[in-house]
Amino acid sequence: MSTPEATNAPIHVESADHLDELIAANDIVLVDYHAEWCGPCKMLEPTVEEIAKETDAVVAKVDIDELQELARDKQIRSVPTLQFFAHGEKAHQVIGVQSKDDLVDVIEQLA
């Protein structure tokens, strides 16, 4: 597998395969399922960006309108939905706007 995509910014997911590669290549991945038209998603965006900068987790952003089939396969029914993956396995999921502290706590527990 390639070198993990270490970054301080959220990664825009381009396909289901791209998401699978990110999950496989990184220890902790936070996937933010969002939509341009979603007000709560916009409220959560600065928090997600801070988490990408301040933690070792890779943050992946999935636009559910661009990747409808992926969202359907992952059973995303509302946005924002945040899924946490640890060592390639889905470990946790939350729906709706969350506090930064709560999200960082989940990442730290999974690390």
**Which amino acid, 16?**
A
**Which amino acid, 39?**
G
77 is catalytic: no
Catalytic residue among 41, 44, 62, 67: 41
Are β-strands 28-34 and 58-63 bridged in parallel, bridged antiparallel, or unpaired? parallel
Catalytic residue among 16, 38, 94, 104: 38
41 is catalytic: yes
What is d(CA 58, CA 89) in angstroms, rounded to the nearest whole number? Answer: 14
Instruction: List active site positions.
Output: 38, 41
